[in-house]
Amino acid sequence: MLSKLNKLFGLIGLTSLSTISCAQQNQEDVWQNVYDTRTQYYEKNIGQLPNDILKIVHMAGVWPGGGLYVIPADKIGKNIFVYSTFGFTNSDMPAQATVSDVKVEKDHLGRTTSSSATLKSKSPTSTPSGAAGYGYELILMTREKNEEWPLWFLQWVAQAELLNDAGILARVEKYNGLTIEAIQVGENANDKINVLITKAQKPLPLSTQLPNGKMEFLVATVITDEEMKWSMTNGRNELLNKLIKSGVGQISDRNRSSVITN
C-alpha cells in the first residue's frame, strides 16, 4: 500500500537551475518556504519528523510533494505517536489532477510490488478563503508505534480529499465535527473503525499561519459503535466534550470502553 521514499527537499530535483524561469523559481521558493515553516511547527509542537516520508504510490502524480508521517510525539506526551498527513497545505494544493484505473500488485506477504494508474487533469476544488492549500493537516494519535491501521485510515482520507474533493474541513466547521462509519483499515474487510473528526483542542497544537495561508489541525479519534449512534442524536461536539471529560481526549484506542453511560 505504501512505500518509503527519502524526504523531499524541493521540487527541482535534478533539473539545472539555469533552465528554470524566474516565475518557476519563485514557485519553488514559495513551496519550499511553506514546507520548511510547516516542518518547524510540527517539530516545535509535536516532535522530530522521521527521515522518511511515506508516499502513497498511485497518487504520486496527484500529490507529488505530500505523504504521511509517523511521529514520536514527545512534545505532546510520553508514549504518544502521531500519524499525520503532510502536504495538504502545500502551495501546489488543491490538487490539479486525479487518477483512475488504479492497479496494485502485491506479493504473498501483502507488500506492494508494482502499481499503475491513469493520470487526468482536473480543476482545483474550492477551499476556504485564506487557507493554505486545503486548509488543514489531519492527525490521528495513538499509543501504538508503527501500526498499519492508522496509515490505512490516512490513505482513505487522502483519496477522499485529493481525488474526490470531500471538503473535510468545511464539513467539520459546518457541523461542529464529522463522524465517519466503518472505514476499512486492513486487508481483512471486517477490520473497520468509526472516527470522529474535529479541530484540535488544547493542549494540542491549534491553527497556525503558513506563508501561503492558514493551516488548521484536524484530529481523527476512533469511537465506538455506541458513541457513533449517540452522536447522531446529541451532536458531534457533545461527543467530543464527553471524550475530553472522560480523560480519553483525542487519543485513539480501538479497545477502550464507550464513554456513553445509560
Nearest to 181 by CA among 236, 118, 130: 236
- Between CA 42 and CA 45 the distance in angstroms is 5
Q: 152-197, pLDDT tens digit by residue?
A: 999 999 999 999 999 999 999 999 999 999 999 998 999 999 999 9
pLDDT above 80 for 16: no
Q: How many CA atoms lie within 13 A of 76 on its CB side?
A: 28
Start-to-end C-alpha separation, the chain: 41
5 forms beta bridges with: 53
4 pLDDT band (50/70/90 cuts)? very low
pLDDT digits (tens, 9 = 90+) for 125-156: 999 899 999 999 999 999 998 899 999 999 99
What CA–CA distance (Å, rounded) separates 139 from 86?
Answer: 9
Residue 105 reports pLDDT greater than 80? no
Quote the distance between the C-alpha of residue 65 and its chain's center: 13
Helices 236-246 and 225-234, interaxial angle, to 10°? 130
Instruction: Compute, in degrees rounded to 10, the torsion defined by CA atoms 171, 179, 148, 103.
Output: -60
Strand partners, 121: 97
C-alpha 10: how far from chain center: 20
Give the start-to-end residue ranges of the domains of the chain: 2-10+23-246
Rounded to the nearest integer, the mean pLDDT of the chain is 87
User: pLDDT at position 104, please?
Assistant: 65
